[in-house]
Structure 1
Amino acid sequence: MPSEPIAAAGSPQLLSLRGINKSFGAVAALMDIELDVAEGEVVAVVGDNGAGKSTLVKVLSGVHSADSGTIAFEGREVTISSPAAAQHLGIATVFQDLALCDNLTVVDNLFLGREISPLRLNEVDMEVRSWELLRQLSAKIPSVRTPIAALSGGQRQTVAIARSLLGDPKIVILDEPTAALGVAQTAEVLNLVERLRERGHGVIMISHNMADVKAVADRVVVLRLGRNNGDFRVRDVSTEDIIAAITGATDNVVSRRSAARGTGQGPTQETDAS
């Protein structure tokens, strides 16, 4: 059963979505979506395939415009009509494909399209700024002159996140940041999320990985079939409760076994009615 939205305690609200709807023809991708993100808060958005996560990211990043509903940023109602408008507001998005050029160096990727060039390319200033960004994230990059092709998956994610900080955003959206990464690289990326929170950024993290969600998120918002289906404080919710909200299951093998353990009964013979 969906819970009531939870207001962040003690932190200024950065982003509030109310009644967001988005349809593609006859297909309703988002229906009456609500979402709040406070300063220095990591909000995980989870849901099964087709739940509306990608559409929500694209609405917030300006790729799609919402059909109806309101978006408030720092207390004022705004319209996000394009990616440039989102960046101007202070919303940066790191998509799952990262959009990095393998043949270019770290510094070239960081400043691609935003080169410091009053008269000619200022290579020194760009390199200094690159190191500043990477140090803010406690990044483990050997050199800003290293080609992207030579970096690990975690290091590439680091470069993509560092690039998103160039415009000094207040909200950073990470779309499946640990997908297809190994254990060590995943830990590296989760440390980056912690650094973003420590610097006061609001973070929206799209993820399928419940371990990652429990590790770094303050709140988890569940989407199911384009609707809100739960808003929980991570410290107060179990992985089983989150999965039940994702799948819509209220009575299943996991929940029955948990209930039996809670009452002190031993495991019982269970049959699956499906």
Structure 2
Amino acid sequence: MTATTAPPPSPILALRGVSKRFGAVQALTDVELEIRAGEVTALVGDNGAGKSTLVKTIAGVHPVDAGVISWKGAPVRIAKPHDAQELGIATVYQDLALCDNLDVVANLFLGREIRRRSVLDQVTMESRSRELLDTLSIRIPSVRIPVASLSGGQRQVVAIARALVGSPEVVVLDEPTAALGVEQTAQVLDLIERLRERGLAVILISHNMADVRAVADRVVVLRLGRNNGDFRVADTSGEEIIAAITGAADNAVARRAGRTGAGTGAPREAPKESHE
């Protein structure tokens, strides 16, 4: 008997033909994107490719001009950040937006404070903070130390943990390993894998192809505001992804791979880029 491959699960979040313009600048054109639970999808592209704009349309910062956003198969309108949060989309931006003068507990529950008779319930918030960090295997000296005293990697994982307080189903991470050292980067990548194990859908925006190949299941390439490739990491060489990012198969990396026999042994042709 011939084995049959099970179809992929339905996307929890889908963008169909999404476009966005800022004055005379067309930032996104007919972008398609599918995000599934229990999967890490890396969104990559050169500077100006449209990654930040696409993330902000998902987060509700920039409402789309055209196209449809679907949540669990039903069309939705994400006109403001609150709309995204209500659906179950959490975004951790590169600046983290942590309050350095507050401790870890206060940062985790900032804007979601638990009160009892109009008084902050510090005991419950501290208990839940420890439980959340333990569940994610996040190790920090104490939940009562100021965030300013944490390392870069610890600050990043605290920011991700804060996004999980609202029990989202999709987590968007904007360059989470930028400016981190090797050990701190490994800590963040480990946490991303744990998010996948919890069944969350993760969108990872990154310029670091080593990080992408380490944790991503799929790589979606944007170029000049358009789709330029959707790859399964396990079945794709790094050269093929870079070719899609640059828009040309005949780039330095592909030529070097062809000379050395690395990867597939010969550069592959990049997906054809469409033009208006």
User: What TM-score does the superposition give when structure 2 sets the normalisation length?
Assistant: 0.90
Q: What is the alpha-carbon distance in structure 2 between the residues aligned to residue 12 and residue 256 of structure 1?
A: 38
**Alpha-carbon distance in 1 for matches of 2:8, 2:20:** 32
**1:102-150 deviation per Cα after TM superposition (whole angstroms, max 9, x unaligned):** 0100000011111101321000110011112111211011111011011
In the alignment, which of 36, 39, 43 is matched to residue 38 of structure 1? Answer: 36
User: 1:11 offset after TM fit, Å?
Assistant: 3.3
CA gap 1:77/1:149 in 2 versus in 1, 3 angstroms: same
Tell me which residue corresponds to 1:225. 224
Instruction: Give % identity.
Output: 68
Aligned match for 1:71, one of 63, 69, 72:
69
- Deviation readout 1:207-263 (Å, 9 max, x if unpaired): 000000000000000000111110000011111111111111221333234335559
The higher relative CO (CA closer than 8 Å, separation ≥ 6) is in 1
User: TM-score with structure 1 length normalisation?
Assistant: 0.91
CA distance in 2, matches of 1:253, 1:148: 43
- What residue in structure 1 maps to residue 166 of structure 2? 167
- Structure 2 unaligned regions, length at least 5: 1-5, 266-276
2:204 alignment partner in structure 1:
205
2-side partners of 1:128 and 1:94: how far apart?
23
Secondary structure, counterpart of 2:254 in structure 1: helix
CA distance in 2, matches of 1:145, 1:127: 8
CA distance in 2, matches of 1:152, 1:132: 21
CA distance in 1, matches of 2:58, 2:191: 21
Select between 183-192 and 231-240 the one with higher mean Cα deviation.
231-240
Name whichever of 111-120 and 214-223 sits farther off.
111-120
| SS of residue matched to 1:60 | helix
Cα deviation code 1:75-121 (max 9, x no counterpart): 11111111111000000000000000101000000111111013210
Counterpart code for 2:67: G
- 5+ long unaligned stretches in structure 1: 1-7, 267-274
What residue identity is the alignment partner of 2:226?
R
Query: How many angstroms apart in 2 are the aligned matches of 1:250 and 1:124?
Result: 58
What's the CA shift string for 1:20-77, capped at 9, x where partnerless? 0000000001111111011100000000110000001110001110001001111111
Correspondence 1:71-110 to 2 at 5 A? 71-110=69-108
Q: Match of 2:191?
A: 192
Distance 1:34 1:153 in 2: 34
Q: Secondary structure at the match of 1:13?
A: coil
Amino acid at match of 1:186: T
Asked if 2 retains the 8 angstrom alpha-carbon contact of 1:11 and 1:40, the reply is no
Tell me which moved more, 29-38 or 249-258: 249-258
**Which of 37, 57, 60 is 1:59 aligned to?**
57
Contact persistence 1:46–1:53 (CA under 8 A) = yes
Secondary structure of residue in 2 paired with 1:85 = helix
Q: Which moved more, 1:77-86 or 1:11-20?
A: 11-20
Q: Which amino acid is the alignment partner of residue 247 of structure 1? A: T
TM-superposed CA distance for 1:197, in Å, is: 0.1
Tell whether the 8 Å contact from 1:136 to 1:195 is kept in structure 2 after alignment: no
1:3: which partner in 2? none
Corresponding residue of 1:22: 20
Taking the aligned partners of 1:255 and 1:153, their CA distance within structure 2 comes to 34
Q: What is the match of residue 251 of structure 2? A: 252
Q: CA RMSD in A?
A: 1.6
Paired residue total = 257
Cα displacement (A) at 1:206: 0.2
